[in-house]
Each structure stands twice: as structure tokens, then as C-alpha cells.
Structure 1
């Protein structure tokens, strides 16, 4: 079994901003509070625990716990999750958080990996700092509106899709139409105990709940209730009340626009993930989610006839805070206002936009969390690993593009040295001597020497390419076997975790608990490399 380590940096799947963040480059240090190490949480060394504990109001804890109790009122809550909710009222309890969209049937695998990274970090912190409690949080993106991003999942190469119109926050979307999705998925599953388990899980999640938020809570709770996962829906009246002062600041002073743009001016060499708007808020109702725009002294709700004066919109905020929703720039601030949170765990793209926000947190006097890139995983089978061993392919090679793999392995398999660098060097040495002679004689001879040098080097390059092409044909069978496995593990050259759904592996394992147990056992949150897990 290939056992080399593929670091995030060398994988080729992370943007330069994240690579430099993981390398702790000095130019990025002003953009984050503390780097994710176990030591940086240490309360005795003025770490993240001490800072957040000092800055988080005790009254917010009770409101949070009471709101979560209500959110879980119609769900089967495990004892450990119930205890975690109660623990949030105590000053020595903190959260580790990830957020994710309400993807149908969890969507791509990395949804699972994010939550397991959170769970495993809480366990590591508890061992290191036993006098504190650490609660794993999944923040549901119930106020999002990108329905096309979440209305499907892939299973055995087919797109299982929920076709429906959606105009408002997706969490409030009713589950009508999912019966057809269930029928399609059920046919693809085939027979067997695991297939029946998946049918029942889908049915209970989506056909027995009225809206997408409740369906997603049920599903995530079923997977992780025994790990004490607490699921938060930010589309909550009491939690929104805590955020009123920050919404008011945004409406009147457009603070986030100013502060984030200041930060963006310092990192122009990177591709920017998210640009702030003048007002980073939406106005939402069940079937409405539109930007709030400040224009000619009034606040307009985009694509509607709704218009508010300043006093009117502040009155509306105070009476109906649930109608105001933060966008991608302000949502992190909302999260950190209502949670005693120490660390946010996300993918590379998420961490990249969090790195734009620290100055905005500072002006609002809210502690900026530690930012941790989630675990990334490749699930593989014993059969695939055996084939890779026989073909002498390691994981770092498998992460390369197909063209690089073909050329590299062809050269390795060939009995000849396909690299003509040595011959080119000899040729260049000979022409250096001829050039010395040419400089001492007629210019026409110098030109003839130069032309011949170019011709000879070009000829060697062509011979090298022709030999490589010939050797590719000879070793095509072995190369194609490598590429077949490559495509199984990296569909269309995309990371498996960004395409495949957990249900794809239902026929490769005894029970779903065994898949999740393996992930819980193998994922190490603070390690910056891909985890290879055999299923």
C-alpha cells in the first residue's frame, strides 16, 4: 500500500493564499489571530481560550442554550448532545465550529469530513485542557439561497436531483417533491441491508420533515448524535436579537465594507475570494431573499418595491430581526457573536475569505477565532491499493495531472533513458567551441554556426519526443491501468471529496458506522496533509 504523505502544500489542490497561510508567511500574519496549534489554545499562556472567555458575555450563553433546546424540541436528542447544550451555559465551555450548506443527502463527502474534523479537535482539546469543555458545532447555512448548489448529489456517476423553484432562504423551503427524488435514488441503490438502511435514512430525513432545515438537522443528528454534535440554525429570533447592534452598525455606518476593503488592499497579489458590498445584509422572508441597498438616503430592498428611511429600517430591525440576514462577509461575525467559539474549521476557500475579516472583527470588539483548514481525505479500497503497489505508483504521483503521470511513469518503465539532457549538454559544449572560432572569422560563418546549433538542438528535442511517444505505446497497458485507478479516485481529475457522496461506498463496507468510525479514528485535525483511508 502506498504510504507516502501528501501535504496540502504539495497536493496542487490549494490556492496560493492558503499555501502561504499554512506556511505562516509573514505577510499574512496580520490577517489572523493565532495559528492552529494545540499550544495556541492554552489559557495559561494567554491563548484563545483565555481571550474568548474574557470577551464572551455570560448572558449570551443562556440565550444560546435555551434557543438550541427549542430547536431540538422535536428531535431525538442523545444524552451527550443534550449535556453539551446544557454545558454551554457554563463559563468553562467553548465551541469548535464548522458551517455548511444544506446539501441534499449531505452532498459531497467533505461535508462529513468537516464535521469529523470538528469532533476530533474537541477531543484533542479535552485531553490537553481537561478543566474545560469543548462542544462540536455544525452551523447550518439555512439562510443561504444558492439552491442549485445544494439540490443534488452524485451516486454511481448519476446526478440525483431535486427539481424545484426556490426564492427565499433554503432552510425554510418545504420538502415537497422529494418523493420523486427518493424513488430515483431507491432504484439506483439495488438490494441489500446497506441499501435498505440508506432508503430508510433518506425517507426519515426528507419525507418525514416539513422543511429543509429540519431534514438536514435530522440527518446530521443521526450520523453524529453519539459524538455530541450540536447543530445550530442561525435563522432564530432570539439569536438574531443578539445581533441587532451589529446589524444597526452595518446599516448606518457600512463598517464591514470599509474595513474589509482596507484588508484587501494589502493582499492584492492573491486572488480575492469575496468582495464586500456597501451593505452586507439581506432582507428575508419565506419566499424572499434580496440585498439591502442604500440609495438616495433610503434603504431599498433589491427587486422589490420596499423602501425604508433610516428610522423606519431601524424600527423594522428592532421589531423583526429575523427579517435581516448577514451575507458571506457578516455571517462569520454573527456566528462569533452568539457562540463561545475558539476555532472555525473550513475548506481552503472558506478560510481564504475568513482571512479578509480580522479588522472587521476588531472594530466590532469580537474575538477573531483560530482558523483551521479541515481534514481532506481519499477513500480507497484494498484492491485499488494492491494494484497501485504492483504498478509502483505512490500517492504523490497519483495527485499529479494525467499528463504528468503518463510522462513520468513512461520514463520509469522504459529500459532507455528518455531524457536527452546529457546529449544536449555535449552538443552545446561543442557549439560553444565553434562559436569561439566563429567570432574570430567572417560573420557569415558565425551565422551558419548559429543556424546549425538551433537545427541540432531542435533535432534532439524531436528525437526525445519521438522516443517518448514510442515508449508510451509500448507501456500503454500499464499506463492505462494507472489512469483507470486515478479516475476512480479523482473523478475527472477532481478531488473525490468534492464530487462523491458517502452513499457511493455503501457496497464496500459492512455498516455505515464502520465508515464513520474509520474516519473518526484516522482524521487528525491539526495535521496539514491528506488522509488516506481504506474502506
Structure 2
């Protein structure tokens, strides 16, 4: 398997600088990921200065129960046991639970977690465990209820499950019916071409669906199937056992609410002073916590008049005392937003490093001041490894038309038109151009002549000339269409190259689901990456399958 590294500029300017010009953003983070000394420094801080932390024994119990429930591998249970040892650290990263794992980037985040943990363990000479944080508490069902694939007729198609209740609940609480699973699996089956791997995959996925109550359940079991043998610990952020462990941290987040929000705004100001845009829209009253009320997940806002909290429209209110009491009696009713999730992650786990995508790196830059306010430090921020898979047929067609990867990424339409012109033996562009030029040269003097007779005739002549030129253009377009039809097969190959590499004008990993590739090529290529020496270095990896 050939792997090529390229510089694919990030859509996030802050992340681009984090990777390639760290000195420009170092004031927004606590550790330089590109300095070897940062890993020892972070480990030393966790050993000697970390104060806010969950009970390791209870954490091990909760993680063991959950990973046994999802059928994770013995290697994972051994990884969890290592957390009883104060020497054991973690590399943590996560994602929402998309349908059939959602976008391929989710899989690449898991790959980055495992590779980074393995490297850090060798570097520090102590256990480092990879942990995948499933954001089961999130409620935006429309973000996770679908997946995309490239059809045989070169269409980007979508498989989707409808919201089962319409209630704005955490995704882990939304029950997907047997009928919904069946319909989604039938669509997936139809989307996958027949291969030696298909029957086994479909059988496994149907079994997983029969055992899964929610998208989170299904997601966790697939991740366990793919990465359990590599020791990837899986957790659901909406797990009631973990909620109970988070109780005292929720209390602190409520008690320090005003100061935390002030620190978030301070972080935003520092980001903007550096010339970057904030990746999170901040509101003055936002309490950065959610409450579950009547099965609905509601973002809390501070109410200074009552020293309590309300929903956005002030239709529901909660006293500070009530919420503080719930941190003890019903912590499962509380959950984090994007600003407090990093803090809770660091409270639950001894986080050596956190694996983040480009957008996440940008919004984590807002959190440094909050970490410091609570006597914490940001973990090392590790950019997620990015991949594009180039299939054999795509490579073959690129070679056929003399296309480089840069051509495909940045000028495919231009290259297609250039190729078409080269195929035009009749030189229609030149011939039609010559006809229009000669016509205008001969007709224009006539129009000018009759204008001297009558101004109205001149205007009529100009209009007439324009209409004739339009008709010549019309014929030229029809002739061009005929040429395109003559080369329809080649144009479809150009189209498939583009849709394979840059679907919907986005990187492949941000659109397509991984199952089409696992169905075609098996899992060997994926495990080859895991067993390789590839590490997060900020460069985009192109895998030649």
C-alpha cells in the first residue's frame, strides 16, 4: 500500500497556523505538540499538579461494564484495567454517533487515537490508553441520522433514518425501531457492490442492529468490532454511571458559572485579537450546560435577576439550589456543551493528549482561559490524521488522462475542457470563431451604411446582427454537445474521478462512509495504517489502494 503526504490547506486559518506556524498561536494553547519535551511536561503535570479528577476505580468499573455490554475485545478490558495504575495516561478524542459510523473521518480519528497512544507509550515508557468519546449526549439528530455513498451511476446518495419521536432528546435516548433498522440496512445492502466481504459485513451489521437500541449503541458496537483488538476503549458520554462520576464537576461548573463564562469570552477576545474568527457563537447569558427536562435537552442561560437559570425563551426556570441538588441526586439530568466538554473530559481521564479535527482545534483555542481558571491545563492538542483513499480504477483513469492529484483537487474542470479541445479534430472552436469574426467584419459595415439612411434601420441592423450571432452561438453549443456525447464515456470517467476525491466540493473523508471501502477492500489496508509508523504530522495522507 502506497502512502503519499501532501499539504492540503485547512479551511480553518487558526488550525492551519497551529500545524504549520505554531509560533503564531502558541499563546492560545498550553503545549506545543511538535516539541518532544511537551509530552514529558504534560505527563509531569498530570502526575504532580492535577487536582480535579474523578475516582479511577469508579471510572474503571463504569468503562468495564459499558465495554462488556457492547461486546468489546479482551484487549480493551485489559486497557481499562491499566487505568487503575496511576502511571497510566490517556489519549482521548470523540465524535457524534453517525448512522453506520457516519463520515469516514470518524474512523480516521480512531486511527489517530490508537497510533498516538502507541507512540506516546513508547516515548514515555509508561501505559497510554486510547479512548473514543462518543458524544451520546448531543441532541442534533439531523447531524447523525444519515450517511453518504457514491452510487454506481456516479451520484452522491444518502441513506437516512427519520427522527423517531421529534423530541429534542440526546441521541443515546432516541430509540430506533426494528423497522427503521431494516429499512436502513436494506438501503445499505443495495448500495454495496457484490464482493467477497459483503455477506460477512451485512450479517454482522444486522446482528449489531438487533442488539442496538439507538444510533449510539450501533456506533459503539461497530467501533468495538473494528478496533477492539487494538485496545480502543469506547465510552458513551451519556452513560448514567459516568454521569454519577461527573457529579462534583457539574457542581463546580455551576458554582463557577459566571467566572467560567467570563473566561470563555476572554478566550474569544484573545483569539480574535490574533486575527481569527471565533468558531463558537457566544451569548452573554449562556451557562454552557444543558438540563434534561421532560425528555428534552435544554440549554441553560443564567438569570441574574433570580441568580438562577432559564431556557433561552425564559419559559422554564431553575433555581441555583435546585440544580446544585440535582448534581447529587440526578446528575444524569445534566450534560455539557462544547465549551465545558473539554473540562469534563480532563476531569474524567488523565488526558495526555486530545485528538481533534480542524474545526475542533479552532474552538478549543477558546478554552485555555477556562482551564486555567479552574486550576487545570489544556492537554496536548493532536490534529486528527486526514486521509483520502484513491481506488485502483480512479488511479487508472487519472493516469489515462494524465491527471495529477493536484489537477483533481484544484483544476479538474479545466483539465477536462483542455482534454476535450484536444479531441476536437474538426477544431470547432476555431471554425466557429472564424465564422463569427468574418460575419461581423462583413455585416458591420452594412449596418453602418444603412444607419446613414435611417437611424431606425441602424438599430434594426444591430439587433438583427445580434440575433444572427446568437444563432451561431446556439449551433456552436449544439455542436459542442455532440462532441461531448461522442466522448460521453470519458466524461463520466472524469466525473467519477472528481466525485471519488472531492464529493460535494468537500474532502472525501468529510462526505463518504467507510463501509463502501471496507466492503471492496476488506480491513487489511486499515490495519496496515494502524501497524505503520504513520503519525499525526499535520499533512494529508493519500492512500493508494
The answer as to whether partners of 1:118 and 1:136 remain within 8 angstroms in 2 is yes
Any conservation in 2 of the 1:37–1:526 contact (CA below 8 Å)? no
Instruction: Select the residue among 309, 321, 324 that pairs with 1:311.
Output: 321
Question: Counterpart in 2 of 1:117?
Answer: 112
Q: 2:138 aligns with which of 135, 138, 144?
A: 144
**Partner residue, 1:272:** 278
Other structure's SS at 2:271 match: coil
Aligned to 1:293: 301
Pair 309,492 (structure 1): closer, same or farther in 2 beyond 3 Å: closer
Measured after TM superposition, the shift of residue 229 of structure 1 is 0.5
- Residues 209-224 of structure 1 mapped to structure 2, 5 A cutoff: 209-224=212-227
1:196-275 counterparts in 2 under 5 A? 196-252=199-255, 253-268=257-272, 269-275=275-281
After superposition, the Cα gap between the structure-2 partners of 1:404 and 1:358, relative to the gap in structure 1 and judged at 3 Å, is farther
Deviation of the 1:17 alpha carbon: 1.1
Structure 2 CA distance for aligned equivalents of residues 398 and 2 of structure 1: 18
Q: Does 1:490 align with 2:502?
A: yes
Sort the Cα spacing of 1:59 and 1:493 in 2 relative to 1 into closer, same or farther, 3 A. closer
Distance 2:419 2:361 in 1: 35
> How much does 1:191 deviate?
4.2
Q: Identify the match of residue 534 of structure 2 among 496, 519, 524.
A: 524
Give how far 1:500 is off: 0.9
After superposition, the Cα gap between the structure-2 partners of 1:192 and 1:399, relative to the gap in structure 1 and judged at 3 Å, is closer
Aligned to 1:281: 289
Determine the C-alpha separation between the residues in 2 that align with 1:260 and 1:25: 22
Deviations 1:12-37 (A, max 9, x none): 44321111111234341111111223
For residue 344 of structure 1, give the secondary structure of its aligned residue in structure 2. strand
Instruction: Report if aligned partners of 1:168, 1:288 keep a CA contact under 8 Å in 2.
Output: yes
CA gap of 1:127–1:262, structure 2 versus 1, over 3 A, is same
Q: Displacement, 1:272?
A: 1.4
How far the C-alpha of 1:489 sits from its partner, in A, is 1.6
In 2, distance between residues paired with 1:19 and 1:38? 17
Superposition TM-score, scaled by structure 2 size? 0.78
Cα contact 1:347–1:374 (8 A) shared by 2: yes
For the structure 1 residues 38 and 124, does the alpha-carbon distance in structure 2 shift closer, same or farther, using more than 3 Å as the test?
farther
Q: Where do 1:357-368 residues align within 5 Å?
A: 357-368=367-378
Task: Give SS of 2:398's match.
Answer: helix
User: Unpaired runs of 5+ in structure 1?
Assistant: 415-469
Q: Is residue 6 of structure 1 aligned with residue 6 of structure 2?
A: yes
| Deviation (angstroms), 1:88 | 0.5
- Call closer, same or farther: CA 1:251–1:378 in 2, change over 3 Å: same
Change (3 A) 1:134 1:13: same
Shift of 1:76: 2.5
Cα deviation, 1:223-261, whole Å, max 9, x if unaligned, reads: 110000001122234433443444334334322321121
In structure 1, how many angstroms separate the alpha carbons of the residues matched to 2:84 and 2:299? 35
CA deviations over 1:410-448 (Å, ceiling 9, x no partner): 99999xxxxxxxxxxxxxxxxxxxxxxxxxxxxxxxxxx
SS in structure 2 of the partner of residue 72 of structure 1: helix
* Per-residue CA distance 1:189-233 (angstroms, 9 max, x = gap): 354442222222321222222233322211110111000000112
Q: Report what 2:389 is aligned to.
A: 379
The Cα shift of 1:366 comes to 1.9
Q: Verify the 8 A CA contact 1:523 1:531 in the aligned structure 2.
A: no
| Alignment-derived partner of residue 422 in structure 1 | none
Question: How far has the Cα of 1:304 moved from its partner?
Answer: 8.4
Conserved 8 A contact 2:386-2:539: yes
- Distance across 1 between alignment mates of 2:218 and 2:39: 37
- Find the residue that maps to 1:77 and give its secondary structure: coil
Alignment match, 1:103: 98
Distance, in Å, in 1 between the alignment partners of 2:183 and 2:302 is: 43
Hey, what's the Cα distance between the residues in 2 that align with 1:233 and 1:55? 28
- Look up the SS of the partner of 1:525 in the other structure: coil
Match in the other structure for 2:63: 68
Distance 1:86 1:3, change over 3 A: closer
| Aligned residues of 2:4 and 2:543 also touching (Cα < 8 A) | no
Report the aligned-residue RMSD: 3.0
Bigger drift between 192-201 and 524-533 goes to: 192-201
Distance 1:12 1:256 in 2: 33
Aligned residues: 468
